[in-house]
Amino acid sequence: MKNPNGYGTVVKLSGNRRKPYAVRKTIGFNKKGHPIYQPIGYTETREEGLEMLALYNHEPWNIDRDKVTLKLLYERWLEVKFPKLGDATQKSLKSAYKHCKKYENAIYRKLRSFDMQDCIDNCGCGYSTQWAIKNLFGHLDRFAFEIDIIDKMYSQITTAEPVPETSKKPFTDDEIKILYENKDDEWVETIILYNFTGFRLNELLSIEITSIDLDEGVYKGGSKTNSGKNRIVPIHSLTYNIVEKRVKANKKYLIEFEGKKLSKSKYYEFWNETMEKLGLNHTPHECRHFFRTKLDAVGANKKCTDLMMGHKSKDVGERRYTHKTIQELKAEIEKIKFDFWV
């Protein structure tokens, strides 16, 4: 059956070639009326060429889902989704694919979490590369799901090595100044909020606008332990305008993307892009480390620090968040000051 106009064609080239079938599309005509072709790719069989052409035209109903390999999906994803990502993310994900080539000829819809996990666990690299591989499979899964290649996104249950505790280093005052100077950037805003709350990343990303009381000047959030759940953290005066703006934006979450709650892996992408842009080198968890060390440095009350951090402490016990307690927390958090912040 003839393809519709503008759809493209698959033609066999002459000679002895490993991939003799050319996938191409007519994009115009020269002065003599001869077609000008845009090459899309090359395949070993005509059937693979047709699959590539269907993917190129983004028409799922023309795709045999049992013939789309990891490599074919990745190449199409590079054309469709990859250009929309930041430079740092592009570099990270492209590098991650090198560790997935063991499966590049595998049918994508037949890949399972243990195959993806195999790439992560046996990449021979640290947590940064492991997270990049996990993120890459997340991108490919979302694209494959979008065009009906898969029914389940197995990348969601893969794991990567956590950031080593020994690598923690808090932001310096000079680095906080860099954040302040770039505070109009929406993702820099999130890093500022992160540094001034002491929440864990999953806790910060889970804070709903309804859990923020602007009149009282506090967040209510937290998870993981009994000491950490539903704890009260004051909104530092230096960040109040950021929080107020986000609350009045009438969204569901304090930090979200395209109207949805951010996953940790997606936030890492924005984090890495922002770190590269600002010339900084930190992990998200180091914001929490900054909060703790800064409170210690200014002589904050240990009971209040433990309450805000969600740490279990024999000095805290079952202390309730009375009005007096909240005022005490505010007094301690406001001890963190910067001369350049106006």
The number of distinct structural domains making up the chain is 3
- Considering the domain architecture, whether residues 15 and 68 belong to the same structural domain is answered as no
**Residues sharing a CB contact under 8 Å with residue 220, sequence separation 6 or more, in sequence order:** 211, 212, 213, 230, 231, 232
Cα 223 to Cα 186, 199, 200, 201, 204, distances in angstroms = 25, 9, 9, 11, 10
Look at 147 and 204; give whichever has higher pLDDT.
204
Question: Per the confidence metrics, is the pTM higher than 0.75?
Answer: no
What is the per-residue pLDDT for 154?
Answer: 95
Among 162, 193, 217, residue at a domain's last position: 162
Q: Hey, what are 148's tokens? A: 């009906």
Could you please report the per-residue DSSP string of 248-270? HTT-SBSSEETTEEPPHHHHHHH
Whose tokens are 């190449």? That residue is 75
- Reported as a single tens digit per residue, the pLDDT across 285-328 is 899 999 999 999 999 999 899 889 887 655 544 456 677 788 99
The beta-strand segments (E) located in 187-230 are 212-213, 218-221
Could you tell me if 181 and 100 lie in one domain?
no
> Residue 316: its pLDDT value, please?
46
Distance CA 121, CA 140 (A): 18
Q: Do 71 and 140 belong to one domain?
A: yes
Task: Say if residue 107 is in the same domain as residue 229.
Answer: no
pLDDT for residue 331 is more than 90: yes
pLDDT in tens, 136-180: 999 999 999 988 889 899 999 999 877 665 557 899 999 999 999
Residue of 206 and 37 predicted with greater confidence: 206
Which residue range(s) make up the domain with 20?
1-58
**Does residue 280 share a domain with residue 149?**
no
For residue 318, being part of any structural domain is answered with: yes
For residue 232, what is the DSSP state? E
Give phi and psi for 211, each to the nearest 5: -95, 10
For 18-76, write each residue's pLDDT tens digit: 889 988 888 777 888 888 887 777 888 888 888 778 777 766 545 677 888 999 899 88
Which CATH number covers residue 292?
Answer: 1.10.443.10
User: Do 187 and 87 belong together in one domain?
Assistant: no
Q: Using the predicted structure, report yes or no on whether residue 255 has a pLDDT greater than 70.
A: yes
List phi, psi (to 5°) of 43: -135, 165
With respect to residue 226, please indicate whether it lies within any of the assigned structural domains.
yes
DSSP 43: E
User: Are the C-beta atoms of 54 and 35 separated by less than 8 Å?
Assistant: no
Note the pLDDT of residue 31.
83
Is residue 27 domain-shared with residue 144, that is, in the same domain?
A: no
From 21, 41, 58, the end of a domain falls on: 58
Mean predicted lDDT score pLDDT of the chain: 86
**Interval 232-261 mean pLDDT:** 93
Residues 6+ apart with CB under 8 A from 92: 132, 135, 272
User: Which of 254, 311, 268 lies closest to 288, judged by CA?
Assistant: 311
Half-sphere exposure in the Cβ direction for 130 (13 Å, CA): 16
Per-residue pLDDT reduced to its tens digit, 100-139: 999 999 999 999 999 999 999 999 988 889 999 999 999 9
Report pLDDT for 216.
Answer: 92
Contact status, residue 297 vs residue 242, Cβ threshold 8 Å: no
